[in-house]
Amino acid sequence: MSQYWSPAVRELTPYVPGEQPREQVIKLNTNENPYPPAPGVSEALRNYATDHLRLYPDPTSYALRATLAESYGVSVAETFVGNGSDEVLAFAFQAFFRHDAPLDVPSITYSFYPVYANLYGITLRKHPLNDQWEVDIDSLANASERSGVIFANPNAPTGHAHSLETIEALLKRVTDRVVLVDEAYVDFGAESAVALIGRYPNLLVTGTFSKSRSLAGLRLGYAIGSPELIDGLQRVKDSFNSYPVDSLASLVGIEALKDKEHFKACRNNVITTRERTRLRLEQLGFEVLPSKANFVLAQHPSFEGAQLFAGLRERGILVRHFNTDVLNNFLRITIGTDDEMDSLIEALESLI
């Protein structure tokens, strides 16, 4: 607390990201991709004329958005890019969810949503997951007088994904406010709701280059939605920072989008390793929730989450442990390379 802080800042509860360790560890705690970005990225960086840095970047990020639009089969007017999807989400909260009515959200989901809600004075109405640890779509759709609906699909940190059909059923019922589907993990095996954009003007899909395109350090995220929603996001962006995406990030993002082979190969590797890891964890007695993401959420009937987390840490392996009542016993484990997962299993074998 400082006397210099505004009342609003005193009230904030900031997001706490997973640790970025300084020493060498096997890092399975923040859902980064274990494989390098597309080879074209290094080449683009090598060829980049430093003189470009004198100039401000294109405030509309047109070239990047055009490539994004082409990749997703939408028009440029249906795309938006920002400094990580976290920023895109912050803009979306500001643009669409600041009404008096509460925002409908699953009780367990990406923990940044409550932080934005708090920042913007938005009330949340939390919907418990069903007994399968799935987002309860029916409950979300049933609520009334809302400022909007937001959930991640696949959800974090459970990894469960709903089908496109289920998401469309929700959109048929919620037409008055924005439905935001956060697809940070969609590339690891789930169906994207981008296919529904043309039919539902209140649907906004967000995504990131951080996970499936191995560019967490670059900070690049996007939204796809009807032109009126994109205009709403642009109004917020241009009232905050006209240039959230720098010229290097644009260039790198374009290269990453263009290399579909590399993208697919990395994604398939992660999926294969995920299923292999799941089996091995189950052999050790873990309950592993089925995942369509690049992580698994697992708990052991005889060992506490905190205890396993600490044991792994001592052995140089970092996973994520959430200190909340419901998730306290779980570990969220990012899928790394096969070698990294072998080390994880070995370490767990010594702990159990």
Name which position in 78, 104, 182, 187 contacts ligand PLP (CB under 6 A).
Answer: 182
**What percent of the chain is helix, strand and coil (3-state, nearest 5)?**
45, 15, 40
Residue 120 CB, nearest approach to ligand PLP (Å): 17
Q: For ligand PLP, which is the closer residue by CB, 271 or 347?
A: 271
Alpha-carbon distance of 96 to 113, in angstroms, equals 13
Q: Is 153 in the site for ligand PLP (CB under 6 A)?
A: no
Residues whose CB falls within 8 Å of the CB of residue 266, separated by 6 or more in sequence, listed in order: 33, 35, 212, 214
Alpha-carbon distance of 67 to 195, in angstroms, equals 17
Q: Is 221 in the site for ligand PLP (CB under 6 A)?
A: yes
Q: Is 208 in the site for ligand PLP (CB under 6 A)?
A: yes
| Complete DSSP assignment for 153-181 | SS-TTT-----HHHHHHHHHH--SSEEEE
Q: For ligand PLP, which is the closer residue by CB, 210 or 343?
A: 210
CA distances from 352 to 175, 305, 318, 328 (A): 50, 12, 17, 18
Residue 282, token pair as written in the block? 């189950």
Q: Is 253 in the site for ligand PLP (CB under 6 A)?
A: no
Name which position in 94, 210, 277, 343 contacts ligand PLP (CB under 6 A).
Answer: 210
For ligand PLP, the binding residues in 90-119 under the rule CB under 6 A are 110
Task: Residue 296: name the closest of 158, 114, 109, 194 by CA.
Answer: 158
Alpha-carbon distance of 186 to 160, in angstroms, equals 10
Q: Is 192 in the site for ligand PLP (CB under 6 A)?
A: no
Residue 288 CB, nearest approach to ligand PLP (Å): 19
Residue 10 CB, nearest approach to ligand PLP (Å): 26
Residue 293 CB, nearest approach to ligand PLP (Å): 8
Q: For ligand PLP, which is the closer residue by CB, 113 or 309?
A: 113
Question: Interface with ligand PLP by CB under 6 A: which residues?
Answer: 31, 84-86, 110, 152, 156, 182, 184, 208, 210, 216, 221
